[in-house]
Amino acid sequence: MNSLRRRAAAVTGMSMLLAVGLAACSSGEPEGSESPGPGDSGDEAVSYDITFLPKNLGNPYFDASDNAGKAAVESFGGTYKEVGPTEAAPDAQVTFINTLSQQGVGAIVLSANDPAALCDALAQAKEAGVHVLTFDSDVNPECREMYVAASNTELIGQKQIDIIAEEIGGSGQIAILSASANATNQNAWIEVMKEYLASDYPDIELVEVVYGDDDDQTSYDKTEALLSQYPDLKGIIAPTTVGIAAAARYLSTSEFKGQVMLTGLGTPNDMRDFVKDGTVLEFALWNPKDLGILAAWAAKALIDGDITGAEGETFTAEGLSSEVTEFTIGADGIVVLGDPFVFTADNIDDFDF
Amino acid sequence: MSAVTAPERTFRRRVADLIKRRETSVVVAIVLVVALATSVNSSFAFGRDGWRNLLLTPSLLVVLAVAQAVVIISKNIDLSVSAVLGLTAYATGEMFTAWPSLPIPVVVVVAIAFGSGLGAVNGLLVSRARVPSLVITLGTLYIFRGLGIAWVGSAHIKPSDVPDSFERIGIASVLGVPVLTMVAIVVVIVAAFVLGSTRPGRELYAIGSNEEAADLYGLRVQRRVFFSFVASGTLAGLAGVMYAARYVMVDSQAGSGLELQSVAGAVVGGVAITGGSGTVIGAALGAVLLTTISRALPIVGVPDFWQQALVGALIIAAIVLDRVLANRHARRLVQEREPNVEPAEVAR
Amino acid sequence: MSSTLIDERTAPTAPATGTRWRRLLFGRDAAIIALLAVVWLVALFAVPHFNSPSTLYYLLEDIFPVLLIALPMTMVVITGEIDLSVGSMVGLGSVVVGALVQGGMPFGTAAAVALAVGAVGGALNGYLVTKVGLPSLAVTIGTLALFRGLAVSILGNRSVTGFPQEWKDLAQSRMFGSGTALPSIIWLFVILAVVFVTLLHFTPTGRATYAIGMNDEAARFSGINSDRLKLGLFAATGAISALAGIWFVLYYNTARGDNATGLELSVVAAVLVGGVSIFGGKGGLPGVIAGVLLIGALRSALRLADVSSDAINVATGVLLVVTVIVPSLVLWLGRVRKALILGVRVRSGAPGAPHREEEL
């Protein structure tokens, strides 16, 4: 009896601790939870409850885009939230999508880790009345209402090939350091790169595509492995901001600096030191802040019911650095932000993201 | 009863003993792997980067494997070392960001002390609560890691946050030997001395062999166990500082998965998971072997994601081997004692 | 491999019905169920959207692999062993299914192969523990790495997505139509739970399990085939982990090498929170099932409160640590109180204080 009572006392104590802890956790609840039931955006046209779900958290590229998105959402009176996994994996995103369905948010702005894996969860979200649009990295078109693309896929892929080809003199071995193996956007660009190489640069050989999983240490170690495995390597393309930063960091302290050329998609803040010290000559990107802003306004337009994602529809977005305000939706529900921009040592100090 | 004669400690005998030791096999394995990889691509060992990386990359895991060995020898396990590493690596970066004028040695000492504190938490829970260290450190692995993520959030330490002199430590070499490698070597030497030649160290072996006997004999088991975890936390903290110096980019996932590799390194190097035997030198060599294998795999053409399967296979092979050898040894002892009796199934 | 120390606990005999009911109502199991109720009530008030019918659906689906694996794992822990490789086996099972389906095999056959792989892997664990005589902690740490490594190696970094809709519906649909609370797949758990509860609590095999956990050598001497039982339990754990891997693929629509990484933490936590002693010989399934639901409710509430997934892992870790140290803490407090009364110094590790040799 004594031990039973002791056990009961212990468990009661634990339960009180847990209850207090739970209450404490949830009392710090952020905005976005006042909607009475699963998203009925019909009669709540003024409540723009928008959640950004990037590939993973802790990625400076998404920090830039999502913070700009946040400013945009708050500028038109909406409530903003950002959730995401720590690893860029599709099944992790499924859990978040499910939670967002339960919470009945107004719209999910998603950068997908896989084109097909998320479709079931997204279908359930749409059933719960949540608007679904993708940005940066798409899913299969039937699973979402709209896709806000950073730039034209062909253009992005070809630009990087053009840069590296010029830097290595038109011939030699190159490799690609990508993000995660299923990422829709990177895979689309890599496909374009392979076709472009076959058609326009027959003297350049793509020896391997390695995957850094958008993780810094993995990308760093993969760069090291590439360099030791292919002694004749002349160039590396890293179409991922995490990958190019890690590769640049490795190259700048290695004996191959200046001999193996590096380009890809990077943010000016991460790459500034490496452009200045000559590890990287040129790299490309667009303004991720603009991407976030455009996605936020697109979500607003969807919630308002102004657009449905059909071709030819137009909507407005304010606050972009290009000062464009009217956007037209193209085929397959895709709206394009603009053209990629090339950063060099001359212009890199003009930017802060 | 026949007298047991002590074998003569001739030079031949000593060499034979040396060859039979696990550490020697590991050294041979390392040499073989390096030779194989170098034959495919000579810059693996002889290129400027290659030589540097050969010595530099294992240094982190060596320190972690030594930390793990200290704990395993006393028949415990510390699964939280990777989380401690991540936390101290980030703390190092944060200190540089928040107080840029702090001298580097101060930052290093504070970070290591942080690791010791975390180790003390483990030590307290294991030694006082009489709960298997497996369960405790499984819990603290996730608690420390989660607290780290709550602290770090989506931020990360960038190269621009850290003073250049600190960054240089990560890749600098003195006389061809990278600084971090020298740190690792010093750690191994000190740990080997403490465990092999001091009383507290030898008591750890005793506790690992038979805790009740050690307790009855009067050894202060709780104290030793507590300090063994403080030691592993301290070393994990040092590994965190080394991580920050080498990789510079520290985010919330720093060090993930290294706890398993540290156990693998120790086990492969001859530290028995059942406690009471093995050396930190063996653990260090095991860590070197594992790192070198995973670096050599891509060279030889094996996709590097086979590395994890290899780690698992090596752990199992090592513990099976330990078991088989222990059985054989015990049987031989029984036979020496009673040469005319059939050695029965050795008690497990 | 287990200690031979006699300690305060008495050998298990089937108690009279009266005491059994008493134990049910006031024992550890009841405490966990009460805790579960408390957490649920607090969540209902404190966490928005917790009261929708979808909550239960998502909760059960999220915790489903733990529900399945906790069943055989309970028996493994009761015999005094442990299996840390379950998460990796879920991953391996899912990858086997994914790779085979991608290669053109029909889903049902691929699932059967995955189950076989699970059984073989579990049997490997069992063989190394029983026949070779290795400690289960060490073995399953090794197989944790080995199975995960095989999983990652089979698919590389790719994921396989896109599985037949009829199979996916099996895992994802709700029992009474959309918008209701129960996932259809819950019947699978109910069947397995009935099997295991019967096995553990109402058959000689179950009593043998407890006997082995209390004192392995004594059990052997009384004729129990400890090796065979343990081997069978490890094989069952492997097979059911692979089954969870099949479900994983259907629910998340992704077969990936790193599926279910870290799942073993939740399973071990659920089993220990549910009252099973890590030293073996004590505990029961009702408590464990309540423990799993408790963890599931906690995770669901925290997710809805927008707590990050890693903070949720912290909560699980804290729960685990607190659960295992509370009994020791309570014992220690009791000793302190007694010592204060007697005016004697307390040494919590005093020789002669009965405790089991710590099994690694």
Of B48, B49, B247, the CB nearest to A220: B247
**How close, in Å, is residue B177 to chain C by CA atoms?**
32
The kind and range of the H/E element at B49 are: helix B48-56
Residue in chain B lying closest to C350 (CA): B215
Q: Which residues from A are below 8 Å from C46, CB to CB?
A: 22-23, 26-27
CA distance A212 to B197: 45
**How close, in Å, is residue C279 to chain B by CA atoms?**
9
Question: Can you give the pLDDT at residue A180?
Answer: 86
B33 in contact with chain C, both atoms CB, cutoff 8 A: no
Write out the DSSP string of C326-353: HHHHHHHHHHHHHHHHHT----TT-TT-
Residue A60 placed within a domain: yes
Residue A4 placed within a domain: no
Question: Can you give the pLDDT at residue C81?
Answer: 94
CA distance B289 to C119: 32
Q: Which residues from B are below 8 Å from A267, CB to CB?
A: none
In angstroms, how far is the first alpha carbon of chain B from the final one? 25
CB contact under 8 A, C145 and B267: no
Question: Can you give the pLDDT at residue C52?
Answer: 78
Tens of pLDDT, residues C216-273: 999 999 999 999 999 999 999 999 999 999 999 999 888 888 888 888 888 999 999 8
Please, which residues 98-157 of chain C have a Cβ atom closer than 8 Å to chain A?
A: 156-157
Q: Angle, to 10 degrees, between the axis of helix B179-197 and the axis of helix B58-73?
A: 10
Burial of B6 (0-12, 13-18, 19+ CB in 10 A): exposed
Residue A129 CA to its chain's centroid (Å):
24
Do both A257 and A237 map to the same domain?
yes
Do both A282 and A293 map to the same domain?
no
Of B152, B160, B247, the CB nearest to A217: B247
CATH (residue range B19-336): 1.10.3470
Do both A158 and A279 map to the same domain?
yes
Q: Angle, to 10 degrees, between the axis of helix C204-214 and the axis of helix C53-78?
A: 60
Q: Residue B8 carries which DSSP code?
A: P
Question: Can you give the pLDDT at residue C14?
Answer: 54
Do both A206 and A323 map to the same domain?
no
Of B138, B149, B264, the CB nearest to C268: B138
B274 in contact with chain C, both atoms CB, cutoff 8 A: yes
Q: What is the pLDDT along chain B (348 residues), one digit of tens a residue?
A: 445 555 566 788 887 777 777 888 888 888 888 888 888 877 777 777 777 888 888 999 999 999 999 999 999 999 999 999 999 998 988 888 888 888 889 999 999 999 999 999 999 999 887 788 988 998 899 899 888 877 876 677 777 777 888 878 887 888 778 889 999 999 999 999 999 899 999 999 999 998 889 889 888 899 999 999 999 999 999 999 999 888 877 777 778 888 888 998 998 898 988 888 899 999 999 999 988 888 888 777 777 678 788 888 888 988 888 888 888 888 888 888 887 766 555 444
CB B234 within 8 A of CB B116: yes
B252 in contact with chain C, both atoms CB, cutoff 8 A: yes
CB B87 within 8 A of CB B147: yes
**How close, in Å, is residue C74 to chain B by CA atoms?**
15
Tokens of B1: 């009863």
Question: Can you give the pLDDT at residue C36?
Answer: 86
E strands along chain B, which residues?
Answer: 173-174, 177-178
C259 in contact with chain A, both atoms CB, cutoff 8 A: yes
CB contact under 8 A, C161 and A90: yes
CB contact under 8 A, B160 and A256: no
Residue A198 placed within a domain: yes
* pTM of the shown model: 0.82
Higher pLDDT, A236 or A269: A236
Please report, for chain B, the start and end positions of each structural domain, with discontinuous segments joined by +: 19-336
The number of CA neighbours under 13 Å toward the Cβ of C68 is 26
Q: Which band of pLDDT confidence, cut at 50, 70 and 90, is reported for residue A207?
A: very high
The number of CA neighbours under 13 Å toward the Cβ of A189 is 30
Angle at C167 (CA atoms; ends C164, C173), nearest 5 degrees: 120
Q: Is residue B223 helix, strand or coil? A: helix
Chains that touch A (3 or more CB pairs under 8 A): B, C
Number of cross-chain residue pairs from B and C with Cβ atoms under 8 Å apart: 167
Tens of pLDDT, residues A238-253: 999 999 999 999 998 8
CB contact under 8 A, B315 and C146: yes
**How close, in Å, is residue A243 to chain B by CA atoms?**
12
Taking Cα atoms as reference points, which of B143, B111, B113, B109 lies closest to residue B125? B143
Chains that touch C (3 or more CB pairs under 8 A): A, B
Burial of C5 (0-12, 13-18, 19+ CB in 10 A): exposed
Do both A160 and A278 map to the same domain?
yes
Give me the torsion for CA of C85, C91, C96, C100, rounded to 10°. Answer: 180
Residue B331 CA to its chain's centroid (Å):
31
The residue written with tokens 């510390």 in the block is B78
Question: Can you give the pLDDT at residue C12?
Answer: 55
Of A58, A228, A253, the CB nearest to B44: A228
CA distance B84 to B112: 10
Q: Which residues from B are below 8 Å from A59, CB to CB?
A: 154
Question: Can you give the pLDDT at residue B51?
Answer: 77
CA distance A19 to B268: 45
Instruction: Give backbone dihedrals phi and psi of A133, rounded to 5 degrees, phi first.
Output: -135, 150
Cα→Cα distances C246→A117, C68, C296, Å: 15, 12, 20
Q: Which residues from B are below 8 Å from A245, CB to CB?
A: 249
Do both A146 and A224 map to the same domain?
no
Amino acid residing at B242: M
Q: Is residue B79 helix, strand or coil? A: coil
Taking Cα atoms as reference points, which of B198, B196, B220 lies closest to residue B207? B220
CB contact under 8 A, A114 and C156: no
Stretch A229-240: mean pLDDT, rounded? 91
Q: Is residue B41 helix, strand or coil? A: coil
Question: Strand pairing partners for A148?
Answer: A135, A335
Counted domains in chain A: 2
Please, which residues 107-166 of chain B have a Cβ atom closer than 8 Å to chain C?
A: 125, 128-136, 138-143, 145-147, 149-150
Cα→Cα distances B211→B208, B215, C214, Å: 6, 6, 20
Cα→Cα distances C251→A102, C144, C169, C301, Å: 17, 23, 8, 20
Residue A30 placed within a domain: no
Q: Report all structural domains of chain C as residue ranges with CATH numbers, in order of start.
A: 25-333 (1.10.3470)
Question: Above 70 in pLDDT, residue A280?
Answer: yes
CA distance B171 to B159: 14
- Indicate which CATH number applies to the domain containing A61: 3.40.50.2300
Q: Which residues from C are below 8 Å from A21, CB to CB?
A: 315
E strands along chain C, which residues?
Answer: 160-161, 254-255
CB contact under 8 A, C349 and B215: yes
Give chain C's residues under pLDDT 50: 1-8, 349-360
Question: Can you give the pLDDT at residue A23?
Answer: 44
**How close, in Å, is residue B257 to chain A by CA atoms?**
12
**How close, in Å, is residue C154 to chain A by CA atoms?**
14
Of B153, B249, B299, the CB nearest to A229: B299
Do both A98 and A179 map to the same domain?
no
Do both A311 and A269 map to the same domain?
no
CA distance C314 to A178: 32
CA distance A113 to C253: 13
Residue A253 placed within a domain: yes
SS3 content of chain B, % helix, strand, coil (to 5): 75, 0, 25
Show the 3-state SS of chain A.
Answer: CHHHHHHHHHHHHHHHHHHHHHHHHHHCCCCCCCCCCCCCCCCCCCCCEEEEECCCCCCHHHHHHHHHHHHHHHHCCCEEEECCCCCCCHHHHHHHHHHHHHHCCCEEEECCCCCCCCHHHHHHHHHCCCEEEEECCCCCHHHCCEEEEEECHHHHHHHHHHHHHHHHCCCEEEEEEECCCCCHHHHHHHHHHHHHHHHHCCCEEEEEEEECCCCHHHHHHHHHHHHHHCCCEEEEEECCHHHHHHHHHHHHCCCCECCEEEEEECCHHHHHHHHHCCCECCEEECCHHHHHHHHHHHHHHHHHCCCCCCCCCEEECCCCCCCCCEEECCHHHEEEEECCEEECCCCHHHCCC
Q: What residues in chain B have their Cβ under 8 A from chain A's Cβ atoms?
A: 41, 43-44, 47-50, 53, 149, 152-156, 158-160, 171, 247-249, 251-254, 295, 298-299, 304
CB A43 within 8 A of CB A109: no
Do both A197 and A157 map to the same domain?
yes
Question: Can you give the pLDDT at residue A35?
Answer: 38
CB A252 within 8 A of CB A224: no
Do both A55 and A129 map to the same domain?
yes
Please, which residues 286-315 of chain C have a Cβ atom closer than 8 Å to chain B?
A: 308, 310-315
Do both A120 and A181 map to the same domain?
no
Residue A11 placed within a domain: no
Q: Which domain holds residue A329?
A: 49-150+288-338
Q: Which band of pLDDT confidence, cut at 50, 70 and 90, is reported for residue A32?
A: very low
Residue A2 placed within a domain: no
Chains that touch B (3 or more CB pairs under 8 A): A, C
Cα→Cα distances B108→B88, B96, C231, Å: 9, 10, 49
Burial of C156 (0-12, 13-18, 19+ CB in 10 A): middle
The kind and range of the H/E element at A125 are: helix A119-127
Residue-wise over B117-133: b if at least 16 C-beta within 10 A, else e? ebbbbbbbbbbbbbbbb
Tokens of C304: 């809805």
A140 in contact with chain C, both atoms CB, cutoff 8 A: no
CB C266 within 8 A of CB C89: no
CB contact under 8 A, B129 and C141: no
Q: Which residues from B are below 8 Å from C324, CB to CB?
A: 129, 131, 135-136, 139
Question: Can you give the pLDDT at residue C26?
Answer: 58
Q: Which residues from C are below 8 Å from A92, CB to CB?
A: 309
Higher pLDDT, B167 or A123: A123
E strands along A184-244, which residues?
Answer: 204-211, 233-238
ipTM: 0.81
